[in-house]
């Protein structure tokens, strides 16, 4: 009975060693004006040799790299209706003990969905050790800091100010206007896809009756996986601008009287 349990434990440890002998690590980042760069790096045991690297998109294999067939590196380009995918795989140490596959996902259409990227690395016989790592690629670029410009409508009474707020991101950010915590509806909003930056450019106009002590905020935000992600808001402070204008007029008059 004891020998049977010991044999089962040894077999389990052997399988665990075989399954996890190859170290696989996947990282990703957004590269401005390029897209998402996802890197799968691997390292085998010193007595092992790389047999293959298989890459998957939501569980479906789209590329295999075999050093025996492709040499020390392989590069491929895959196109979908929404993206271009550039993949470069290479062995960086002899016998395939270390290497990496770098994927650059370049969106050229705005509708892109999250997906699970998987990297499976296999060693050669007789052990055929395997390592695999899944990585969720979130199609999300947080909103940029809001940019705000203002223009006073001359001759209006009470004084009205036209505010223009803009931001960028993916998906397209919503621009939320508030005046002293109260939400306001924009007069006009617009957005356009920027093929160079691979982001949405959004803008919003608000015609506002200036008050001497009100603070207007424009806050960019996106909803990702039921989480609100906000960029840094831009502020228009009527009181500070009113004070600044009055202060300049007073100083001008004061300097004139000193002449």
Q: What tens-digit pLDDT sequence spans the chain (259 residues)?
A: 555 555 554 444 444 444 457 999 999 999 999 999 999 999 988 888 899 999 999 999 999 999 999 999 999 999 988 899 999 999 988 766 899 999 999 998 887 789 999 999 999 877 889 999 999 999 999 999 999 998 887 666 667 889 999 999 999 999 999 988 889 899 999 999 999 999 999 999 998 887 667 789 999 999 888 899 999 999 987 654 443 344 434 444 444 455 5
- Domain 21-137 in CATH 1.10.3720.10? The answer is no
- Asked whether this chain's domains 21-137 and 147-239 adopt the same fold, the reply is yes
Instruction: List b or e across 90-105, with b for residues whose CB sees 16 or more CB atoms inside 10 angstroms.
Output: bbeeeebbebbbebbb
pLDDT of 248 = 39
Collapsing DSSP to helix, strand or coil, 251 comes out as helix
Q: What is the pTM of this model?
A: 0.77
pLDDT of 206 = 93
Residues 6 or more apart whose CB falls under 8 angstroms from that of 1 comprise none
Fold of 147-239: Immunoglobulin-like (2.60.40)
By C-alpha distance, which of 217, 207, 216, 218 is closest to 239?
A: 216
pLDDT of 210 = 73
Per-domain residue ranges for the chain?
21-137, 147-239
pLDDT of 49 = 86
Spatial separation of the C-alpha atoms in residues 241 and 133, rounded to whole Å: 55
Maximum CA pair distance of the chain?
110
């Amino acid at each position: 009975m004891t020998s049977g349990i010991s044999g089962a434990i040894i077999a389990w440890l052997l399988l665990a060693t075989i399954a996890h002998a190859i170290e696989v690590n996947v990282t990703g980042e957004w590269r401005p004006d390029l897209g998402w760069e996802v890197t799968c790096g691997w390292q085998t045991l010193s007595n092992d040799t790389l047999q293959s690297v298989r890459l998957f998109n939501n569980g479906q294999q789209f590329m295999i790299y075999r050093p025996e067939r492709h040499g020390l590196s392989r590069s491929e380009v895959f196109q979908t209706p929404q993206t271009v995918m550039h993949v470069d795989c290479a062995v960086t140490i002899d016998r395939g003990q270390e290497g990496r596959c770098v994927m650059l996902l370049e969106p050229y259409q705005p509708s892109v969905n999250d997906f699970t990227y998987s990297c499976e690395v296999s060693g050669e016989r007789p052990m055929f050790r395997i390592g695999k790592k899944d990585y969720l690629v979130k199609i999300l670029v947080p909103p940029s800091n809001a940019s705000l410009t203002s223009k006073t409508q001359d001759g209006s009474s009470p004084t009205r100010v036209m505010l223009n707020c803009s931001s960028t991101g993916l998906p397209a950010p919503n621009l939320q206007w508030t005046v002293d915590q109260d939400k306001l509806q924009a007069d006009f909003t617009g957005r356009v896809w920027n093929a160079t930056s691979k982001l949405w450019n959004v803008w919003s106009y608000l015609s506002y009756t200036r008050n001497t002590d009100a603070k207007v905020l424009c806050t960019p935000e996106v909803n990702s996986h039921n989480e609100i992600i906000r960029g840094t808001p831009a502020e228009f402070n009527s009181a500070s601008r009113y004070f600044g204008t009055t202060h300049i007029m007073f100083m001008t008059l004061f300097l004139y009287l000193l002449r």
